[in-house]
A and B are shown apart, each in its own frame.
Chain A
Amino acid sequence: MSKGLDILEAIDDSSSESKFEPKLESRQLWGKIFAAFCIFATSLGLIILAFLIFDVVSDAASRLNWDLFQNYPSRRPLDSGYKAAILGSVWMLAYVLLLVIPLGVSSAIYLEEYAKKNWLSELIELNIYNLAGIPSIIYGLLGLGLFVRGMYGGRAVLVTGILTITLLILSPVIVISREAIRAVPQSIRQASYGVGATKWQTIRHHVLPSALPGILTAVIISTSRGIGETAPIVVLGAGTVLFDPKGSPINFGALFSGKLGDVFTDTLWSNDNFFSVMPYQIYEWVGSPKPEFQTLASAGIVVLLMLVLGMNIVAIFLRNRAK
């Protein structure tokens, strides 16, 4: 018994700090350094984004006026503008939305509400996941081989760009829309079935309206990526051309008066309408050796950034409201 106490005393004697040192001060110092690094890392991206915007705007200042929107591209930098590219981007945006909303939302509904757990659904799911990871330039090669060479005899007409960008953003639209549909509580569906609604009535009147903000977020974020994409358009072989369509992308007059044949004008595929879009035109001018063209490129970037970041901010607001 006395031996046991001896041991205790021995422990007391030998300074306990040598066996366990809390080293609190240095650990807390490291804690602070680490926290500071994490805060720095989080803000660094935003600081760079701010720098980028400041740099671009200051480069572009001399060219930010209405001429930018009214002039076609030309050899003389001071007479050049983005009219063709902006029109091309607007047309592309309109038609990509027209195609990607029904296709993407339908696919998302199928996978969330209809698909049974079998090999086919698994194949489709795996496939969409992989499509989302394929580099955009590969979609450009698809468009070049299938649409430009295969369907339009080597002419990079507007419709080839529209189809390529639609396929490119289809899988992100599906993936994000599915999340929105999945987030609709099961009880809403059960209540609808309970009063005798069919599956489609339930989806149409209850699931889709609840999931709408999420689906809109998906569509807006993905299309903003789509119209900022340069690589696939470069591969298609679009040019910096005088894209000058008559009228608006969709002929609303014909749509409302019921002349469905005239709703889509032939600008999409005829009239040698090799098209141009904003990011492509910017890329052309960034690569130009003349400094005036670089200024012009930066002015285009300001316009493109306002459009793309604006769409993203709208999407963020929608998502926050949905939650």
Chain B
Amino acid sequence: MTSPVTPPVEDLDLYQRRDRNIKESAIGYALFLCAFVSVLTTLAIVYVLASETVSFFGKASISEFLFGSIKNGSYTCSWTPQFADKNFCVWPTVNGTLMIALIAMLVATPLGIATAIFLSEYASPRLGKFLRPIVELLAGVPTVVYGYFALTFVTPLLAKIVPGLQGFNALSAGLIMGVMVIPTIASISTDAMIAVPRSLREAAYGLGSTKKEVATNIVLPAALSGISAAIILGISRAVGETMIVAIAAGQRPILTLDPRETVGTMTAYIAQVAKGDSRVGSVEYEALFAVGMTLFLITLFLNIISKQITKRFQETYE
């Protein structure tokens, strides 16, 4: 009797299981390592920014950076690290950034919220599903394209209406940046409005409200936390945007509140100086990272606030 030799069933099973277990846990660890790359990225960003910023403050005083200085008996606050007469007061760049971001938000907030109301309240679900990705297309346009459009189309157009408009100005950069920010606000606000329970709307309709009243008096307040999170995230986008401002707003950081002026933002300054070849270890090179650190901290702060608001909002409705 020759019977085929088969290994005992239990042994075979045991062998496979051990093999499988090793492979399974190895895959788990490999996937974890990939996910950990993002943590390393953050650490690297903080390290690079912090180390150069520390050596920057070895050469420039932190009080001048934050408050300006007294030179020749008069108070000055200007940002000119790349000139022979060096001044290290960061506010002119922050001023440019905030002014343009403010203009952008004046455009993007009403338009973004109105878009969200249309998508969640007026459009049929099918139309909404069709329109949303198209609205989001606006965020997909490369910002260098927006910059070109602001410089060659919007500025000449505005120059006919606004007297005293400079060739590079905060106004047209801000307006176009507002268009760029619309999808950020619209998208998150739409989600927040869709999450408002249907019963609230029906109660309002039952009392005889019109559609507009339901939208503005019921849905808008109920979704307010989500909308504020969206607006803050929008500000963070506007503050961090580089190419629109570098191309259309100019590169002259000054303290002004006039949107017709040429200004310089934090991001435009970084782009301008990095483009020129500054020596490693020179104060211009380090100033780059000090401004970068300031920008990093501002956007991080805004993102954390936005996240906190979203968290609270989720807790209320789930």
Instruction: Please list the residues of chain A having a beta carbon within 8 angstroms of any beta carbon in chain B.
Output: 22, 27-28, 30-31, 34-35, 37-42, 44-46, 48-49, 51-52, 55-56, 59, 102-103, 106-107, 109-111, 114-115, 123-124, 127-131, 133-142, 144-146, 149, 154, 167, 170-171, 174, 198-200, 221, 224-225, 228-231, 234-237, 279, 282-283, 286-287, 294, 297-298, 301, 304-305, 308-309, 312, 316, 319-320, 323
Query: Contacts A42-B135, A135-B267; is A225 near B140 (CB within 8 Å)?
Result: yes
The answer to whether A171 touches B144 (Cβ under 8 A) is no
Is B115 touching A114 in the complex (CB atoms < 8 A)? no
Which secondary structure dominates where chain B touches chain A?
Answer: helix
Instruction: Please give, as numbers and ranges, the residues of chain A lying within 8 Å of B149 by CB-CB distance.
Output: 52, 55-56
17 contacts between A and B (CB under 8 A): A42-B131, A45-B138, A52-B145, A55-B152, A56-B145, A106-B30, A114-B28, A123-B39, A134-B300, A137-B271, A142-B45, A167-B41, A200-B24, A221-B140, A230-B142, A231-B267, A301-B144
Interchain CA distance A229-B144 in the complex, whole Å:
8
The reply on B200 being an interface residue by CB < 8 A is: no
Chain B residues within 8 Å of A, Cβ to Cβ: 20, 23-24, 27-28, 30-32, 34-39, 41-42, 44-45, 48-49, 51-52, 110-112, 114-115, 117-119, 121-122, 129, 131, 133-135, 137-138, 140-149, 151-153, 179, 182-183, 208, 210-213, 215-216, 233, 236, 239-243, 246-247, 267, 270-271, 274-275, 277, 280, 288-289, 292, 295-296, 299-300, 302-304, 306-307
Q: Report yes or no: A114 in contact with B274, Cβ–Cβ below 8 A.
A: no
Indicate the member of B41, B288, B292 with the most A CB atoms within 10 Å: B41
Report whether A170 and B41 are in contact in the complex, using a CB–CB cutoff of 8 Å.
Answer: yes
Which residues of chain A have C-beta atoms less than 8 A from B141's C-beta?
A: 49, 52, 228, 305, 308-309
- A322 CB to nearest chain B CB (Å): 12
In Å, the complex CA distance between A35 and B118 comes to 8
CA–CA, A36 to B73, complex, Å? Answer: 59
* A38, B112: Cα distance in complex, Å: 9
Known: A35-B122, A42-B115, A228-B144. A130 touches B300 (CB 8 A): yes
Which B-chain residue is minimally distant from A291 (CB atoms)?
A: B152
Asked whether, in the complex, the Cβ of B134 is within 8 Å of the Cβ of A46, the reply is yes
B44→A142 contact, CB < 8 A: yes
With both beta carbons as reference points, the residue of chain B lying nearest to A46 in the complex is identified as B134
Number of A-B contacts defined by CB within 8 Å: 261
Contact across chains for A130 and B247 when beta carbons are under 8 A apart: no
Assess the B243–A230 pair: CB atoms within 8 A. yes
Given A35-B122, A136-B240, A221-B140, A235 and B274 touching (CB < 8 A)?
yes
* Smallest beta-carbon distance A205→chain B, Å: 14
A106 / chain B contacts, CB cutoff of 8 Å: 30-31, 34-35
**Inter-chain contacts of B23 with A (CB < 8 A):** 200
Which of B142, B267, B271, B302 counts the most A-chain CB atoms under 10 A from its CB?
B142
Chain A residue at minimal CB-CB distance from B251: A287
Contacts of A103 in B (CB 8 A): 34, 37
CA of A52 to CA of B211 in the docked complex: distance in angstroms? Answer: 34
**In the bound complex, do residue A145 and residue B115 qualify as a contact, i.e. CB atoms below 8 Å apart?**
no
A263→B284 CA distance, assembly (Å): 41
Given contacts A39-B118, A282-B148, A316-B133, contact A31 B42 (CB under 8 A): no
A154 touches B280 (CB 8 A): yes
User: How distant is B233 from chain A, measured CB to nearest CB, in Å?
Assistant: 7
List, in ascending order, chain A residues with CB within 8 A of B115's CB: 38, 41-42, 45
B236 touches A133 (CB 8 A): yes
* A140-B273 Cα distance, complex, nearest whole Å: 13
Contacts of A114 in B (CB 8 A): 28, 31-32
Please give me the residue from chain A that is nearest to B132 by CB atom: A316
Contact status A45-B135, CB under 8 Å: yes
A35: contacting residue among B52, B211, B280, CB under 8 A: B211
CB distance from A8 to the nearest CB of B (A): 23
B153→A55 contact, CB < 8 A: yes
A110, A135, A174: which has the most chain B beta carbons within 10 Å?
A: A135
**Residues on the A chain within 8 Å of B119, using CB:** 42
